[in-house]
Chain A
Amino acid sequence: MTHPSVIENVTCLGCGCACDDIDVVVASGRIVEARNACRLGLRWFGDGQVPSVVRVDGGDVTLEEAMRSAVTRLVEAERPLVFLAPGLSCEAQREAVAVADLLRARLDSITTSTALPFTLASQEHGHASATLGEVRNRADVVVFWGIDLAERYPRFASRYAPGPPGTHVPEGRRTRTVIAVDIGRATASIDADVRLAVEPANELATLIALEALARSPDTSSRYASLADRPWNSARELAAVLLSARYVGLVYDAEPDDRSTRTPVRFEALASLAQTLNDRTRCAALALRAGGNRSGSDSVLVAQTGYPCAVDFARGYPRYDPHSSPLGVLAHVADTALVVGDPTGVPSEVSGLTHLETVMIGPRASTVAFGERCVVIDTGVDGIHASGTALRTDDIPLPLRAPLAGPRSTAETVRAVKLAIRRLRPAGSGVGGAGRRALGV
C-alpha cells in the first residue's frame, strides 16, 4: 500500500448542500476515507472505483468505434432525447446541452420528474430568497417546513442553520428560534423550540392563513374570529415570524412520498416568504438533492432560457413543461443520449427498452437500457474529473479530482458534439424533411 495522501477542501455532491470541506484520503488509488462527510457523502465518494467499459450492442469495442457508433446513431435519429442525469459538472452539462441543440432534440433532466412543481411556482411568482450563508449569518428564526433534514440534508443544520454562529447571530443555535412544521408524516427532523403538526389536507390553508396574517395587523384582527385548525396554527406561527429580524424558511424542492407537493403549495410558500418582507426580512430556501441538479438548471437557463423540459425540435428552445411530460415524450423518441450517472435516471426513461441508447457517464456499463446501446464509461465529476458544480443556492464551487480515472464526461461529450458538427457543415438545422416535431 502506498503512503496515503490527503486532498483537502473537496466538494461533495451527495446532496445539494455541496459541502466543500471534505478531506479525502487516498491510498493505492482508492478513497479510504472522506473526513467530514456525512452518510450521503460517504456513499457518494465510495472508494472511487469505477468501471471503464466501452461497448456497442453488448460487445466490447475501442473508444473510437464506440464514438463513431454513438455519433452515427444520434445523427440518424428521427426524434432524439438528450437526458442529463445527475452527477455532471457544469462543464459536462454545457456540452450536453450543445449536443441537444445541434440534434434538435428534446432535452430534459432530473428536474422535470422531481422539482418541477417548485420550479413552475417560482417562475410564476418569483421568490424572496438568499444564499445559505445569509441564513446562517442572519436568521434569528428558522422554520423547517416539512423537510427531513436528517434523511436528506444531514449536515445542513450544523453547517448553515441553526447550528453555527453568524455575523448577526453570535451564539448560533442559542440565538435562534427554531420552528419545525410537520406535514403529516413528513417530519421536520430537527431539535425545535416550537413544533407544529399540520394535516396534509390543511397545509395549503395554513400557508394562506399565515400569509394573510403576515400581510397586515388589520388582516389579523379581521380574521380573529376564525378558529379552525389552519387559523390556529397560523396564528401560533405568525406571532414568532413577525417578531423575527430575519426569517429563514427552509423546505424541500424535491418530491417526498410522505406529502403531496403541488405547484400551488410551492406558490403559497413563495408568497408567504415575499409577504413577510413587508414586515420583517425573510428568505425562503428550497433545497435540491445531490449530483449538481442546481447546476443543470442553471446551465439550461443560461443557454436555453429554461431550466428543464426543453424541446429544440423547431430549431430553437421551447419550454414544454406542461403538455409533454417526460414519459410521454420519451415514448415517442427513438434514440436517447443519457449523459451522467445512469443510476439516477428516472424510470420514465430507463424503462424505455425500445429506444436506441447512447450512454456516456460514470458506471454507464452497469445499467444498460435496451438492446441497441452504446455505452461509454467515464470518470465521476468531482472524483476523477475537475470542474464546477452549483450548491442548492446556485453558489458555484470547484470540483476537485482526488483520483485519476477514465476519460471525463465533459471531454467525451465534447468530442461527440464536434463530430456531430462536422457532419452538419451547414450549421443550423438537422435532418430536415424527415424530422417530426412533436407536440406541435
Chain B
Amino acid sequence: MIQLRIAGGSVYDPANDTDGDVRDICIEDGRIVASLPDAAPRLDARGMVVMPGGVDIHCHVASGSVNVARRLLPEDHGRHPATAPSLDDPAEVPRSGAAGTVPTTFTTGYRYAGLGYTTVFDAAVAPIMARTAHSQLDDTPIVDGGFFALLGNDDYLLRLIDTGDRERSREYAAWVLGAAGAYAIKIVNPAGVELWKRGTKERTDLDTTLGSSRVTPRVILEVLVDSANALKLPHAAHIHCNNLGLPGNSATTLATMAALDGRRAHFTHLQFHSYGKSPDGRWRSAAREIIEYLNAHENISGDVGQVMFGSATTITADAPVEYLLHKSSGRKWANVDIELETGCGVVPHEYRDRNAVAALQWAIGLELFLLSGDPWRLVLSTDHPNGGSFMSYPELIRLLMDRAYRDEQIGRVEQKLLAGSAVADGLEREYSLSEIAIITRAGPARLLGLQNKGHLGVGADADVTVYAPHDNRATMFSTPRYVVKRGVLVVEEGQLRRAPTGRRLHVRPPFEQSVTRDIERYFDRYATVRYANYPVAGLHDPPVPVGAR
C-alpha cells in the first residue's frame, strides 16, 4: 500500500472550493483519501502551492500527422537534443530524444510531467490511424492520454447525412469511437477538408453545399454535436470551425455558435477563429464579439489556442489551411489526404513579435483570456505545436497573472493592427492562482468529463503538482518542486525521477449492432483496409464510462 501525505501546502482546488487553504493532501494507492496514519511518509510542502495535475484539453502529440511533422523537421530536432533522464526504478527505461517544436514521444511525456501536467489529449486522430496514435501514447510516459476521432469529413458519415438518417449517423459515430479507442468526437473544418480533396480552394461557409444540398457544414455540426450529447459522451463534440486563420472568420465562428442553438459543444483554439476584417480589408481583432457570445451562452465552452512568439509547427487535419500557409510563407509543406476520413497538412511557422499579423494573433488570444467571464468555460491551450509549444505555458501564465509584465510585452510588439484590440486599451485583469488552477486543470477536466481528475477531493486520482512560489510566475510554473502521478512521486526537487506508464482514456459507447452490416458493405466497396482489420484491439485500460442513454 503506497501512502503519501503532502503536508502543509497552500491548496488550490477550485472544484472543491479550496482557495489557498493550508491543508494536507493524503494519498493511498494512487487516489486521494480523507486521512492517513501519522506514520505515513510525508512530503513537506509548507510554503508551497499545491494544485491538481495539469490537464491539456487540446494538443498534437501522438498521431500519424504528428509523425509527418516530426519527419519533416530534422533541423529542428538537431537544435534541440534531449538526453535521457536519470530514473530510479530499474524497470523503467530512460530514453533520450529530441525536443523543439514537435518533441519525440518519450521526451513529450517527460516534459509534460516536468511542467506538472499529468493528462493530455491529442485533438486530431484519423480513426484509420488509431493504432499509430495508441502506440505513440504507449511511448509517451507518465501522462494519462487519449485522443479525439476526426469525423467532420468522414465519407461514410456524409453519405448517411445525405440520406437524412441522423439516428444511424449517431450509431456510426459510436461505432467509430469504440473501434478507434478514441475519447471524443472531433470536427475539423466540416465539409471543407472534403472540398479541398475535391479541388476547391475557396472559403467554406456554414451553408456551403457538398455535392448535395442536404450536406452542409451546418448539418454536419448538428448531427455530430447531437450524437455526442445523445451518446452522453464525457466530452462534448470538439469543434474546429470553418475558415481557420482567414481574416473575417469571426462571422463564421459566431454563426456556428448560433447554429448550435443551445446544444452543448466545445469550440477549440478560438484565437484562430476570432479575426475580423476592416472595411479596407485589413485584419482586426474580433475577440470581443466572440468572447461576449461565449460568456453569454453557458452551453458552449472553448480553449484559446494562444499564439506565443517563436518557432512553431502547424499540424492540422485542416489541410487547405496548410496549403494557403505554404503559399504565403514559402516554408516547406507536407500534405496527406487520408482515405475516406480526413486530411493532414504540416508547415513550419515562425511567429515574430514584429510581424503585424502575429502580433495581432498574440493579442487576440490574450483578449479572449482577459475578457472571459467564466474560467471554467474558457481554458488554456496553445494548440501545441500550432500556436506555440506546451513548453511555453508558464510564460503564458505569467502574461495572464502579471499586468506590468504584460503591458511591457504589449509595448514591444508590432502595433500596426492592434487598434481596436482591448489589450491595447490596457486591460487590468490579473488571473489569480485559483483561476490559473481552473484554466489549466479543474476546467479542462470538467469539460472533458473526467470525474477523477482536475481536483483533489477524496477518490480523485492522486495527480498532484507542488510549486514553489516565485514572483516570476513563469519560473514558478516551469519548474514544479514535486509532481505526483497516481500516487507515484515522479518529480522530486525539480528532477524527473520516475516515469511510470500512463493510462489510456477512451470510450466505448454502445451502439445498435445492426449498423455494422452496412458499414461492412461500404468497407468492401471503398476501403483498402478490411473491415475486420479496422478496429484496434488490446487496449489495457477499461473505457471511461459514458452516461446511460
Contact = CB atoms under 8 A, between A and B. Distances in A.
Interface of A: 8-9, 11, 20-21, 90-91, 94, 98, 101-102, 122-134, 136-138, 159-160, 165-168, 245-246, 274, 277, 280-281, 283, 297-298, 301-307, 312, 314-319, 388, 390, 393-398, 417-418, 421-422, 425-428
Contacts of B100: 305
B128 A305 contact: no
Contacts of B328: none
Nearest to A17: B528
6 contacts: A21-B530, A130-B336, A274-B333, A298-B132, A318-B78, A396-B135
A428 to B, nearest CB: 4
B472 interface: no
B36 interface: no
Given A131-B336, A245-B199, A315-B83, A305 B74 contact: yes
Contact of A319 (B74, B336, B347): B74
B193 to A, nearest CB: 12
B136 A302 contact: yes
B343 to A, nearest CB: 9
B532 A8 contact: yes
Interface in B61-96: 64, 67, 70-74, 77-78, 81-87, 90-91, 93-96
Contact of A316 (B96, B339, B528, B530): B96
Contacts of B74: 123, 305-306, 319
A149 B97 CA distance: 37
A305 B533 contact: no
Contacts of A159: 528
Contact of B339 (A133, A274, A425): A133
A396 B131 contact: yes
Contact of B332 (A126, A418, A421, A427): A126
A298 B67 contact: yes
Contacts of A426: 86
Contacts of B198: 138, 168, 245, 281
B106 A137 contact: no
B89 to A, nearest CB: 10
A305 B70 contact: yes
Given A126-B334, A305-B98, A319 B132 contact: no
Contacts of B136: 302
A305 B90 contact: no
A123 B100 CA distance: 16
A319 B78 contact: yes
Nearest to A280: B199
Interface residues of B, number: 62
Given A166-B526, A281-B199, A397-B533, A422 B90 contact: yes
Given A397-B529, A427-B86, A302 B199 contact: no
Nearest to A279: B199
Contacts of B90: 421-422, 425
B254 to A, nearest CB: 31
Contacts of B532: 8-9
A123 B86 CA distance: 32
B338 interface: yes
Contacts of B104: 302-305, 317
B530 A246 contact: no
B72 A123 contact: yes
B64 A394 contact: yes
Given A94-B135, A428-B83, A317 B98 contact: yes
B335 interface: yes
B197 A281 contact: yes
Interface centre among A9, A125, A134, A422 (most CB of B within 10 A): A134
A126 B340 CA distance: 23
Interface centre among B106, B135, B323 (most CB of A within 10 A): B135
A397 B135 CA distance: 12
A390 B96 CA distance: 24
B167 interface: no
A319 B77 contact: yes
A398 B106 CA distance: 23
Nearest to A314: B81
B323 A277 contact: yes
Nearest to B537: A398
Nearest to A421: B93
A414 B87 CA distance: 18
B211 to A, nearest CB: 10
A210 B317 CA distance: 29
Contact of A418 (B82, B91, B323, B346): B91
Interface in B299-318: none
Nearest to B196: A281
Contacts of B83: 315-316, 428
Given A312-B96, A395-B128, A421-B93, 14 more contacts: A101-B95, A126-B335, A131-B336, A133-B526, A136-B528, A280-B199, A301-B70, A302-B70, A303-B106, A305-B70, A316-B84, A422-B90, A425-B90, A427-B86
The 6 residue pairs across chains A and B that have the minimum distance between CB atoms: A133-B339, A305-B77, A305-B98, A396-B131, A130-B337, A316-B81
A427 B70 contact: no
A312 B96 CA distance: 9
B139 interface: yes
Contacts of A125: 332
B71 A317 contact: no
Given A129-B334, A277-B335, A305-B98, A317 B533 contact: no
A307 B71 contact: yes
A6 to B, nearest CB: 13
Given A245-B199, A306-B77, A317-B81, A98 B135 contact: no
Contacts of B323: 277
B338 A427 contact: no
A396 B62 CA distance: 14
Nearest to A125: B332
A306 B93 CA distance: 20
B129 A396 contact: yes
